[in-house]
Structure 1
Amino acid sequence: MFTGIVQGTAEVVAISEAEDFRSHVLRLSEPLRAGLEIGASVSHNGVCLTVTAIDGERVSFDLMRETLKVTNLGALQVGDRVNVERAARFGDEIGGHAMSGHVMGMAQIVDIESSPNNRRIWFLPPQELARFLFDKGYIGVDGTSLTIGRVESDPEVGAVRFCVDLIPETLARTVIAERVVGELVNLEIDPQTQAIVETVERVLAGRGH
């Protein structure tokens, strides 16, 4: 389990490709790799990956076909950076919200509004996920626990979009500060919201509504 409180960013320093398979190597700082062992779970842009090798500051991970298909990790190149969070431990403070590290899809950045002390980013999510989005609800964006500012219909594309507001601390600690219009981010829906919505839908369907 993860909390969505990104602990830092790490550079991709090597990538090896195979058919429907990829391995990549991150350069992790000492605080991020303290106590890290092979088999441990680490979130990369919100995707739970397993440590496969450790060579000093270079830590390796494997990415399977499904991961490459539904997340933005398959588009990474050497030199890119990713948000990193180590798996939560019992007794840790949960500063964000509970996240599984199982990305449900990608959203495209469609607009960025900047001001001196914050930034608002608008996203166009997969429309099948729109029913889980609510004003002031939780959302995982590239592994960062964020609060949805507003959900609305985008008149230009006739689809639902949503925004988040980012404070300087979030911009300083995560890769979201580097994102530009047109890029894709990983989304994880708040599991509690998903469970509530799907339960209500089943109840209503059972009543014939």
Structure 2
Amino acid sequence: MRAERLDLADFLESLDRRDWQARSLCPGWTVHEVLAHLTLSPRETVGPTLVRVARARGSFDRANADWARELAAEFSPADLLAQLRATAGVDHRLALSGALDPLTDILVHGQDIARPLGRRREMPPARVTPALEHVWSSVFYGRPDKRFNGLRFIATDAQWSAGEGSSEVRGPIGDLLLVASGRAAGLANLTGPGVEDAAARMQRRRRAAAA
């Protein structure tokens, strides 16, 4: 977790002024706001978070988005980068969060930033593998193991596979993590007879969430 946060901070140092205002893969969030969100993990506590969720009419996602926008309005990218570095080794998370949630958050949001900018950010299999294993059966991520029932996902650059069935989805483990966490951008680097089915299921889930 600490290494991934520091690596991301190094990567973000290369962004220019226009990059910070670009849209990320997170709908409605700028790159600046995604960075602001990433500084939340070490500072979130149950009480204030529940208050924000109540104000957001029960939506944890909306509460997080509002908080990220507030921080982005208050702090410059340079300030937020300093905060990210200062808290890189802080292993703090909300109650009920899993031990691998902070690492997963950094890995996925790092791609939320990099890919729309046309930048390449490595996703080391040694870090991604435990995160994907965690996400695969996580209720927070909508239980990918249930959502992709009947498809078999296979990493081509790591010793990881999951799911049952003859319809395979193959690709780099970083892209499998993006798909498991609901990012359609990960589909571009995947191959196999199950990719089209996986894409259709993701689209149905997005439509249901927007309804």
**TM-score normalised by L of structure 1:** 0.29
Which has the larger share of strand?
A: 1
| Larger RCO (CA under 8 A, 6+ residues apart) | 1
